[in-house]
Amino acid sequence: MTRNQLLRPVLLFDAATCLAMGGLLVAAAGPTAGLTELPVPLLREAGILLFPFALFVLWAARQGGGWPVQLVAGLNLAWVAASFGVIALVQPNGLGMAFVAVQALAVGAIAALQFHALGGTRVSV
């Protein structure tokens, strides 16, 4: 599979996982908070944020590359950084730390695949 052929499936996977995680966080914020010691509003609002992001990712997939995909990958990296910031600031229990860290690492892997599919381009700031 070439880099260009990899881009669309990775973006579609990104959008699908955003919708799934968003649904989980919105629908089960209370129980998840109880297990992880993460605040309910943080979980719910993070879940709500994932819905418009998923729509943007789907739109970017239709564009076939360029700045929309660079932005998606860059925002995914920002999500990773924010996730580790949440661990430091909120100090959830061990399960909460694992929950946040594992999803952050998964998002980081998706961003790496997106950058790879773009030919290693970086987001210009």
Span 72-125, pLDDT tens digits: 999 999 999 999 999 999 999 999 999 999 999 999 999 999 999 988 545 444
Query: Minimal CA–CA distance to 48: which of 25, 67, 28?
Result: 25
The distance from CA 72 to its chain's CA centroid, rounded to whole angstroms, is: 9
Q: Report the pLDDT value the prediction gives residue 5, as an integer from 0 to 100.
A: 84
Average of per-residue pLDDT values in the chain: 93
Query: Minimal CA–CA distance to 25: which of 39, 54, 46, 53?
Result: 46
pTM (2 d.p.): 0.89
Q: Report the pLDDT value the prediction gives residue 121, as an integer from 0 to 100.
A: 46
